[in-house]
Structure 1
Amino acid sequence: MSSSDPTSLHNPYFYQKPGQKDIWSLINETAAEAQAQSGKPIVNLGQGFFSYNPPKFATEAVNEALTKPQFNQYAHARGNPNLIKEVAAHYSKSFGRPVDTSEIQITTGANEGMFSVFFGFLTPGDEAIVFEPFFDQYIPNIEMTGAKVRYVELNYPEKFNDKTVTGDDWEVDWEGLEAAINEKTKIIVINTPHNPIGKIFTEEELLKIGQLAIKHNLILVSDEVYENLYFTPSFPRPAALAKLPQLADRTLTIGSAGKSFAATGWRVGFVHGPANLIKFVTAAHTRICFSTPAPLQQAVAQGFIEAAKVDYFEKTRQEYIKKYEVFTKVFDDLGFPYTVAQGGYFLLVNLSKLKIPDDYEYPPAIADRGTLDFKLAYWLIKEIGVVGIPPTEFLIPDNRKGNGLEKCLRFAVCKDDHILEDAIERLRKLKDYI
Structure 2
Amino acid sequence: WDAKTTAYLFYMKRCVHAPDIRVSEAVDRGYAQSCSCGGTLGDARARAIGASRGALGVAAVLMRASPRVHRTPRYVRVHSGREAACHRSWQSSLAELQTRGSMGPTVATIPRKLVALGAKPSVWLEFTPLAAALRAVNLGQGFPDWEPPAWVAGAAKNAVADLAPETQQYARSRGHPRLLETIADVYGRLRFHGRSLDPNRNVLVTNGASGAIYLAISCLVDDGDEVVVFEPTFDIYMGAVRLAGGIPRCVPLVWRAPPRAKVANEDATEPASCAADWCIDWEALREAIGPRTRVLMLNTPHNPLGKVLTRKELEQLAELVHAHPQVTVVSDEVYENIVFDGREHISFGTLPHMFDRCVSIFSAGKNFSVTGWKIGWMIGPEELIQRFHAAQQFVVFSVCTPMQVAVAECLAEAERRHYFRELAALYQERRDQLVATLRQSGLDPIVPQGGYFVVANFGKLPGFTNQFPAALSALEGGRVPGLEIDDATRHRADYNFARWLSFECGVTPIPLSAFFCERHADRANTLVRFAFCKQSQVLEEVSRRLQRFRDISGR
Output the TM-score relative to the length of structure 2: 0.72
Give matches, 1:378-417, under 5 Å: 378-400=499-521, 402-403=522-523, 405-417=524-536
Secondary structure of the 1:246 match is coil
Tell me the residue number matched to 1:222. 331
* RMSD of Structure 2 on Structure 1 (CA): 2.0
1:261 aligns with 2:360: no
Which residue matches 1:117? 216
User: CA, structure 1 residues 30+211, in 2 after alignment: closer, same or farther (shift >3 Å)?
Assistant: same
- Equivalent residue, structure 1, for 2:401: 294
Q: Is residue 29 of structure 2 the alignment partner of residue 29 of structure 1?
A: no
Distance 1:147 1:7 in 2: 12
Counterpart for residue 165 of structure 1: 273
Flag the 1:367–1:375 CA change in 2: closer, same or farther, 3 A: farther
Equivalent residues of 1:366, 1:378 under 8 A apart: no
Distance 1:336 1:117, change over 3 A: same
Give the fraction of aligned pairs with identical amino acids, expressed as a percent: 32
Structural mapping, 1:125-136, within 5 Å: 125-136=224-235
Q: Mean alpha-carbon deviation: is it higher for 152-161 or for 119-128?
A: 152-161
- Equivalent AA in structure 2 for residue 235 of structure 1: H
The structure showing larger relative contact order (alpha-carbon pairs under 8 Å, at least 6 residues apart) is: 1
Structure 1: segments with no counterpart, 5+ residues = 36-41
Which 10-residue stretch deviates more, 187-196 or 94-103? Answer: 94-103
Post-superposition Cα deviations, 1:174-200, rounded to whole Å, max 9, x if no partner, equal 111111111111110011111111111
Residue pair 1:187, 1:220 contacting (<8 A) in 2 also: yes
CA distance in 2, matches of 1:189, 1:89: 26
Instruction: Give the partner amino acid of 1:77.
Output: S
Contact kept, 8 Å, 1:323 with 1:417, in 2: the verdict is yes
- Indicate how the Cα distance of structure 1 residues 357 and 130 shifts in structure 2: closer, same or farther if over 3 A, else same: closer
Q: Which runs of 5+ in 2 are unaligned?
A: 1-40, 47-111, 255-262, 477-484
Rg: which structure is higher?
A: 2
Q: Single out whichever of 257-266 and 357-366 deviates more from structure 2.
A: 357-366
Distance 1:292 1:326, change over 3 A: same
TM, length-normalised to structure 1: 0.91
Provide Cα deviations, 1:122-160, integer angstroms capped at 9, x if missing partner.
222221111111111111211212222111111244577
Q: Which amino acid aligns with 1:214?
A: H
**Alignment deviations for residues 289-330 of structure 1 (CA, whole Å, 9 cap, x no partner):** 111100000000001111112111110101111111111112
Please tell me whether residue 49 in structure 1 is matched to residue 143 in structure 2: yes
Matches within 5 A, 1:287-366: 287-354=394-461, 355-357=463-465, 361=470, 362-363=472-473, 365=485
User: What amino acid is aligned across from residue 95 of structure 1 in structure 2?
Assistant: F
1:201-242 alpha-carbon deviations (Å, 9 max, x no partner):
12121111111111111111110011110114212221123x
Decide whether aligned partners of structure 1 residues 2 and 344 sit closer, same or farther in structure 2, where only a CA change above 3 A counts.
Answer: farther
1:433 matched residue in structure 2: 552
- Equivalent position of 1:277 in the other structure: 384
4+ residue stretches of structure 1 with deviation over 6 A?
none
Instruction: Please state whether the residue corresponding to 1:288 is helix, strand or coil.
Output: coil
Aligned to 2:17: none
